[in-house]
């Protein structure tokens, strides 16, 4: 924790720099802002600041610099890697009040938003203009655009449309040194200078605080078709997924649910799977030509049929589509119905290694005596291996199992994180994936943006 005299002095200055009611020290509130969806405990800040402008963010940095206090940027607290936990106390800088959609420009296929805009709200707004913002983390109803930029978030549709970075054209960013900069561009094309936008997207709130985002939009596909296939075993499902991908068909989503995931869905999910299902795959295709979309689903059905345990079920209307997606969307939450605690990973492996990785996660779970649910965006090799457990005293063993899963992914040519970010959760494994020299270069980059090391310390890289 920080020096208490420094905190008191900073508090006075913050109350002078922002409206005093937006500088919060209420204990319960601080605890709330010390949590996220990572299950990595509570790490409360000592002060919470609710910023409303880039200029205010700059003032917060000035105070933090004078008193050498950490500043942790916070979006919607839905992150899964502990990226917003205030490990060393200090100031939590919430961007939730910067929640305006500044403009949607249908003629340019772009939009500008503040970081606190909820992703799902933004998607609905652009759809009213016949437009489409594809990045779709499953937490879209609650997560924010700023958080998505920080983590370079993805989701089921990333298979066809890519992740957040592919849609961010430009950013307004406040650096810890107090500079307010505009990086990137407002145009669809543009190659001037280093691509600092790409560097900032996915930098997990360690290089600067994003206060405005310009994104690229697409025309909204007019037709979407969703189908579900049940398999006897997860191995059969993984094989079918590989066959679809190898055939050259790229649907917009290809999601896998293993038997443990299906068990978790059984109680409360709107869609009911057959009792003997050992795995399921959700497939979605989209496009402007209805027959073309239907033909793609038929083609996929033909490709998976040999491994499937029954007919391919195609959603007949919007309500059925919604039921299927709700079942998938709340899986992470529903797993707690099986065991109250879990550590959830988001490894990604080359597509050809999906069956092997699925097998490996189960072996590691069995070896350590834990149930592992494996599900997720199998189409792009991004699997959520969730180790389920009951008691806190089991956590060290769970962490060992998780470490083995992460290393196995890297050994297969994959990565420790496909969409949730490194944060606190995976910082000890970054070097295993990237090597000493690359991690050292990234530390030097961080020092260039944040010479005093006050911005979100302890994230991405382990303490030296
Ligand atoms: C998901 O795909 O549901 C999310 O990334 C969260 C998770 O399950 O870990
Ligand atoms: Zn996911």
Nearest protein CA to atom 1 of ligand 1, as residue:
138
Which one of 56, 75, 97 terminates a domain? Answer: 97
**215 and 227 fall within a common domain:** no
Range with the lowest mean pLDDT among 59-68, 89-98, 354-363? 354-363
Buried/exposed 133-149: b ≥16 CB within 10 Å, e otherwise: bbbbbbbbeebbbbbbb
303 and 210 in a common domain: no
Distance 87 CA to ligand 1 centre (A): 24
Q: Do 214 and 105 share a domain, yes or no?
A: yes
19 CA → ligand 1 middle, Å:
37
Question: Is residue 239 assigned to a domain?
Answer: yes
pLDDT for position 2: 78
Number of domains making up the chain: 4
How much is the pLDDT for 4? 87
Examine the domain organization and report whether 136 and 199 are in the same domain.
yes
Domain span at 17: 4-97
Band the pLDDT of 355: cuts 50, 70, 90. Answer: confident
- Let me know the angle formed at the C-alpha of 74 by 71 and 80, rounded to the nearest 5 degrees: 120
One domain, residues 347 and 291? no
The total number of residues shown for the chain amounts to: 464
Cα separation, 260 vs 309, in Å, equals 17
Euclidean distance between CA atoms 20 and 45, whole angstroms: 17
Mean pLDDT of the 114-123 span: 98
* From 334, 376, 377, mutation site for ligand 1 pocket: most ligand atoms within 8 A of C-beta: 376
CB 309 within 8 A of CB 277: yes
User: Is residue 31 very low, low, confident or very high in pLDDT (cuts 50, 70, 90)?
Assistant: very high
pLDDT (average), residues 430-435: 98
Digit-coded pLDDT (tens) for 367-416: 999 999 999 999 999 999 999 999 999 999 999 999 999 999 999 999 99
Atom index in ligand 1 nearest the CA of residue 386 equals 9
Note the pLDDT of residue 18: 95
Distance 179 CA to ligand 2 centre (A): 34
Residues in CB range of 39: below 8 A, 6 or more apart: 341, 342, 343, 344
Pocket of ligand 1 (CB under 6 A): 80, 138, 331-332, 344, 376, 384, 419
**Domain CATH for 72:** 3.30.43.10
Domain assignment present for 455: no
Query: What digits encode the pLDDT tens for the residues 280-322?
Result: 999 999 999 999 999 999 999 999 999 999 888 899 998 999 9
In order of 373, 378, 387, 393, the CA distances from 341 in angstroms are 12, 24, 8, 11
Summary count for the chain: helices (H), strands (E) = 16, 18
Q: What is d(CA 56, CA 51) in angstroms, rounded to the nearest whole number? A: 6
Rounded Cα distance, 345 and 425, in Å: 9
Higher pLDDT among residues 167 and 274, named by residue: 167
Same domain, 177 and 146: yes
Q: What is the CATH number of the domain that holds 397?
A: 3.30.70.2740
Quick one: 107 and 212 in the same domain?
yes
Mean pLDDT of 271-282: 89
Asked if residue 449 belongs to a domain, the reply is no
Ligand 2 centre to CA of 60 (Å) is 33
Average pLDDT rounded to a whole number, residues 198-209? 98
Same domain, 109 and 21: no
Which numbered atom of ligand 1 lies nearest the CA of 377?
2
DSSP 98-124: ---EEEEETTTTEEEE-TTSBHHHHHH
Beta-strand runs (E) in 107-184? 110-113, 131-132, 168-174, 180-184
Query: Does one domain contain both 149 and 164?
Result: yes
Same domain, 413 and 318: no
In the listed set 156, 185, 219, which residue is the last one of a domain according to the structure? 219
Q: Which ligand 1 atom is nearest residue 345's CA?
A: 9
The more confident residue out of 437 and 310 is 437
Predicted confidence band of residue 274 (pLDDT cuts 50, 70, 90): confident
pLDDT of residue 294: 93
**pLDDT mean over 403-430:** 98
- pLDDT, average across residues 321-329: 89
Instruction: Indicate whether 265 and 324 sit together in one domain.
Output: yes
For 216-273, write each residue's pLDDT tens digit. Answer: 999 999 999 999 999 999 999 999 998 999 998 889 999 999 999 999 988 778 888 8
The pairing of strands 253-258 and 371-377 is antiparallel
Q: How far apart are CA 398 and CA 418, in angstroms?
A: 20
The fraction of the chain above a pLDDT of 70, given in percent, is 100
Looking at the chain, the whole-number percentage of residues with pLDDT higher than 90 is 88
Q: What is the pLDDT of residues 241-254, one digit of tens each?
A: 989 999 988 899 99
- Which of 344, 382, 405 most suits a substitution to test ligand 1, by most atoms within 8 Å of the C-beta? 344
Tell how far the Cα of 8 is from the centroid of ligand 2, in angstroms.
40
The whole-number pLDDT of residue 310 equals 83
78 C-alpha vs ligand 1 centroid, how far in Å? Answer: 11
Q: What is the pLDDT of residue 260?
A: 93
Asked whether residue 68 is assigned to any structural domain, the reply reads yes
Q: How confident is the model at residue 452 (pLDDT cuts 50, 70, 90)?
A: very high
Cα-to-centroid distance, 119 and ligand 1 (Å):
15
Q: Are residues 149 and 186 in the same domain?
A: yes
Q: What is the structure's pLDDT at 271?
A: 83
């Amino acid at each position: 924790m920080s020096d208490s005299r420094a905190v008191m002095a900073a508090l006075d200055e913050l109350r002078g720099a922002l409206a005093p009611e937006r500088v919060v020290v209420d204990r319960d509130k601080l605890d709330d802002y010390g949590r996220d969806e990572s299950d990595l405990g509570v790490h409360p800040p000592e002060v919470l600041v609710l910023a409303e402008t880039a200029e205010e963010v700059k003032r917060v940095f000035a105070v933090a610099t004078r008193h050498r206090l950490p500043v942790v940027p916070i979006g919607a607290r839905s992150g899964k890697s502990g990226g917003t936990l205030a490990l060393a106390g200090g100031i939590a800088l919430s961007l939730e009040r910067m929640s305006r959609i500044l403009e949607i420009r249908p003629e340019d296929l772009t939009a500008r938003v503040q970081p606190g805009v909820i992703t799902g709200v933004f998607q609905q707004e652009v759809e009213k203009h016949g437009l489409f913002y594809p990045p779709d983390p499953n937490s879209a109803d609650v997560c924010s655009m700023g958080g998505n930029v920080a983590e370079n978030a993805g989701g089921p549709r990333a298979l066809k449309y890519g992740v957040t970075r592919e849609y961010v054209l430009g950013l307004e960013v406040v650096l810890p040194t107090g500079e307010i900069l505009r990086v990137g561009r407002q145009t669809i094309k543009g190659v001037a200078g280093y691509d600092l936008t790409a560097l900032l997207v996915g930098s997990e709130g360690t290089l600067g605080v994003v206060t405005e985002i310009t994104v690229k939009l697409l025309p909204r596909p007019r037709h979407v078709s969703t189908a579900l296939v049940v398999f006897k075993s997860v191995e059969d499902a993984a094989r079918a997924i590989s066959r679809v991908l190898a055939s050259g068909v790229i649907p917009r989503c290809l999601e896998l649910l293993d038997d443990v995931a299906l068990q978790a869905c059984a109680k409360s999910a709107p869609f009911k799977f057959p009792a003997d299902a050992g795995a399921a795959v959700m497939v979605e295709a989209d496009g402007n030509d209805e027959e073309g979309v239907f033909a793609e689903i038929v083609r996929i059905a033909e490709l998976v049929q040999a491994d499937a345990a029954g007919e391919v079920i195609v959603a007949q209307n919007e309500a059925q589509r919604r039921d299927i997606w709700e079942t998938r969307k709340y899986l992470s939450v529903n797993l707690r119905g099986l065991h109250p605690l879990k550590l959830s990973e988001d490894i990604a492996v080359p597509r050809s290694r999906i069956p092997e990785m699925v097998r490996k996660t189960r072996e590691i779970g069995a070896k350590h005596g834990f149930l592992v649910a494996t599900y997720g965006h199998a189409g792009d090799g991004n699997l959520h291996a969730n180790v389920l457990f009951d008691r806190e005293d089991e956590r060290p063993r769970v962490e060992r199992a998780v470490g083995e899963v992460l290393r196995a992914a890297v050994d297969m040519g994959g990565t420790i994180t496909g969409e949730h970010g490194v944060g606190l959760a995976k910082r000890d494994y970054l070097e295993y994936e990237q090597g000493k020299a690359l991690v050292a270069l990234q530390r030097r980059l961080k020092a260039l943006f944040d010479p005093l090391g006050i911005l979100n310390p302890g994230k991405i890289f382990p303490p030296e």
